Amino acid sequence: MSALEPSLTVAVVRALEAHGLGCEEYRLADAFDPDALERLVASADAVEVRLEVAGRGLVVTDEEIRVLEE
């Protein structure tokens, strides 16, 4: 991500908020290591990481963060 783009952690929080999950409902550090996720996504061209935060599925790539519908 460039200096003008938000960090991956901020992008995850925004994606969750856009799907109705407020930041008071979870702690990212309980679901995954934000720094490790950022390094992993940046380490390869075609990596896709699936994880769950407060019961919501996420798909994270270097191009997008998708919240999976229930």
Residue type for 52, please?
Answer: E
Task: Give backbone dihedrals phi and psi of 64, rounded to 5 degrees, phi first.
Answer: -155, 160
Instruction: Please check whether residue 37 is in contact with residue 29, taking contact to mean a CB–CB distance below 8 angstroms.
Output: no
Q: What is d(CA 12, CA 7) in angstroms, rounded to the nearest whole number?
A: 9
Average pLDDT over residues 8-21: 94
Tens digit of each residue's pLDDT (9 = 90 or more) over 20-61: 999 899 998 999 999 999 999 988 888 999 999 999 999 999
